[in-house]
Amino acid sequence: MSVIELTQDTFQAATQAVQPLIIDFWAPWCGPCRQFGPTFEAAAEKHADVTFAKINTEEQPELAAALRIRSIPTLMVFRENVLLFQQAGALSASQLEELLTQVKAVDMAQVHAEIAAQEKRGATTH
């Protein structure tokens, strides 16, 4: 699968998908971003069950600011509108493979149940 470009207009819909979404925040002038690009694109070719996206922080500064991106590259992984992972810095190919394996194994029903329980507890303490 190819890598898609996300914008402020397409970000929200992309994060709500059942399929895992991994986002690479980058900029053209960023050396580590350019070095990580081929690794990210190679993983996209291997994992058709994951959506791979890039957000150019130069072209989408409001979105990067809203997501508190402080350094690039930064990776974020979403499933069903839940942020499962966020880390600044490029990953090696093996680290990216391990991350994808872990993300695919997450029981989202359990995650949603835990979020609901936390929200319920939070509502009773106010």
Q: Which of 21, 33, 72, 84 is catalytic?
A: 33
Report the C-alpha gap between 26 and 56 in whole angstroms: 5
The tokens describing 120, both together, are 């319920």
Helix (H) or strand (E) holding 14: helix 11-15
pTM value is 0.91
What is the pLDDT confidence band of residue 18, given thresholds at 50, 70 and 90? confident
The pLDDT of residue 87 is above 80: yes
Respond yes or no: is residue 33 known to be catalytic: yes
Report the C-alpha gap between 119 and 59 in whole angstroms: 35
Q: What are phi and psi of 119, to 5 degrees?
A: -65, -35
Smallest CA-to-CA distance from 55 within 79, 43, 72, 38 is with 72
Q: Which of 6, 22, 30, 53 is catalytic?
A: 30
Residue-range domains of the chain with CATH: 2-121 (3.40.30.10)
Mean pLDDT of the chain: 93
